[in-house]
Amino acid sequence: MIIQKTSNSRIQNLDKDNISFGSTFIDHMLVCEYENGKWGEVRIMPYGSFSFSPAMMCLNYGQACFEGMKAYKDQKGQVFLFRPEKNFERINKSAKRLAMPEVTREMFVEGLKALVDIDRAWIPQGEGFSLYIRPLIFATEEALMARESNKYMFAIIASPAKAYYSAPVSVLISDYYSRAANGGIGFAKAAGNYAAAFYPTQLANEAGYEQIIWTDDATHGYFEESGTMNVFVRVEDTIYTPPVSERILDGITRDSFIELAKRRGMEVVVDKIPVQFVINAHKEGTLKEIWGVGTAVVSNRFKAMGYKGERLTLPLLSDEESYAENLKKELIGIQSNQQEDPFGWRVLVEEGVAHK
């Protein structure tokens, strides 16, 4: 690993109380290039821009995928990653589906630890703060040919973050647009998945909703995801969430919520969620809450849902009564080293690891 430290740190410009999510970047980034059938040397270097041609293949044919993860700093100043092995596994799953080369564990996990160690000062301390980390792989060959690229770049960039939007949002149940289809790339964190979601989300915004609940492409009769989040529904005291599939992302926060709920003795049903089941539960008064989960937001509850021209107000339980809020609080406690981690999810980033 080659490490080139910046001679002009920008840390003094960081105002943690006025952080705009994903727009301020740490001093360094990790970069590794793929050419002639193999990955080159991992480099940690000052954060900055690259010069690329408009003929770069990722711009023309969409070979690009990424991950989203976080690092946390506890009250003693120790720094932790959360389940990085899961992100490592998932980015390679995405890369394989997009015909891109997989990265090694040393590149991803050890490189990530080194980068976070070097810029640990950029991780804000305090409740709700973290370092949002974006590993990505994209095609860099300059060629207008409809085939897989012969050159790629793996990079990791990171941005200090404060708690994402947490106010309850309204969601529109999609009965036309789909996020993914069978045989497609819905299970991958492909860049194109997000681009395809923007227009339907614009339409939902114009109709007075912040997000979409995506439904299956064949019948639009089953919940799949919500916006960029996995979705959970609570009817009475049972939690429902759709199973992961080739259409639904295997969310790490989703998996963590399921494990935490089971450990608490809550009933969790991982199965298809019919839209009509949720509508009927709302009419019968047994629908307690619906929420989405993801790395950036952790968890976000829904206050209303739109379906076939009707806006249905959802219950807003107190934080003490809400399963969503209780599970979120416990997960954040584990991530930030404020409470016991019975699962071994928390990974300490040792000081000086970049030079070992």
According to the model, what pLDDT value does residue 356 have? 64
Look up the CATH number of the domain holding residue 313.
3.20.10.10
Query: Residues 131, 176: one domain?
Result: no
User: Is 9 inside a domain boundary?
Assistant: yes
Radius of gyration of the chain (CA): 21
Where is the domain boundary, 128, 163, 198?
163
Query: Residues 20, 136: one domain?
Result: yes
Strand stretches in 95-202, DSSP E: 130-139, 152-161, 169-173
Whole-number Å distance between alpha carbons of 169 and 226 = 11
User: Is 122 inside a domain boundary?
Assistant: yes
Closest of 263, 232, 260 to residue 248, by C-alpha: 232
Query: Residues 292, 148: one domain?
Result: no
Query: Residues 134, 207: one domain?
Result: no
Look up the CATH number of the domain holding residue 102.
3.30.470.10
Contact present, 308 and 245 (Cβ < 8 Å): no
Query: Residues 8, 150: one domain?
Result: yes
Q: Give the list of residues 6+ apart from residue 308 with CB closer than 8 angstroms, or none.
A: 175
**Per-position DSSP letters for 219-231, written without gaps between them:** TS-EEEEETTEEE
Give the dihedral sign, CA 91/93/97/102: positive
Sort residue 47 into left (φ over 0), alpha (ψ -120 to 50) or beta. Answer: beta
Whole-number Å distance between alpha carbons of 127 and 335 = 11
User: Is 342 inside a domain boundary?
Assistant: no
Range of the domain at 7: 2-163
Where is the domain boundary, 142, 163, 184?
163
Contact present, 79 and 349 (Cβ < 8 Å): yes
User: Is 146 inside a domain boundary?
Assistant: yes
Query: Residues 156, 224: one domain?
Result: no
Closest of 247, 299, 297 to residue 272, by C-alpha: 247
Report the run of H or E that residue 257 belongs to, with start and end: helix 252-263
Query: Residues 192, 227: one domain?
Result: yes
Query: Residues 87, 200: one domain?
Result: no
According to the model, what pLDDT value does residue 157 have? 98
According to the model, what pLDDT value does residue 146 have? 97
According to the model, what pLDDT value does residue 352 have? 87
Sort residue 92 into left (φ over 0), alpha (ψ -120 to 50) or beta. Answer: alpha
User: Is 119 inside a domain boundary?
Assistant: yes
Query: Residues 215, 145: one domain?
Result: no
Whole-number Å distance between alpha carbons of 32 and 132 = 20
Query: Residues 286, 325: one domain?
Result: yes
State the CB neighbour count (10 A cutoff) for residue 270: 13
Q: Give the list of residues 6+ apart from residue 11 with CB closer than 8 angstroms, or none.
A: 27, 121, 122
Tally the domains of the chain.
2
CA distances from 319 to 169, 277, 324, 327, 330 (A): 16, 25, 8, 10, 12
User: Is 138 inside a domain boundary?
Assistant: yes
Cα-to-chain-centroid distance, residue 198: 16
According to the model, what pLDDT value does residue 353 have? 78
User: Residues of the chain whose pLDDT is less than 70?
Assistant: 165, 355-356
Whole-number Å distance between alpha carbons of 19 and 237 = 37
User: Is 270 inside a domain boundary?
Assistant: yes
Where is the domain boundary, 163, 180, 201?
163
Contact present, 43 and 270 (Cβ < 8 Å): no
Query: Residues 257, 278: one domain?
Result: yes
User: Is 345 inside a domain boundary?
Assistant: no
Whole-number Å distance between alpha carbons of 1 and 40 = 10
Query: Residues 257, 296: one domain?
Result: yes
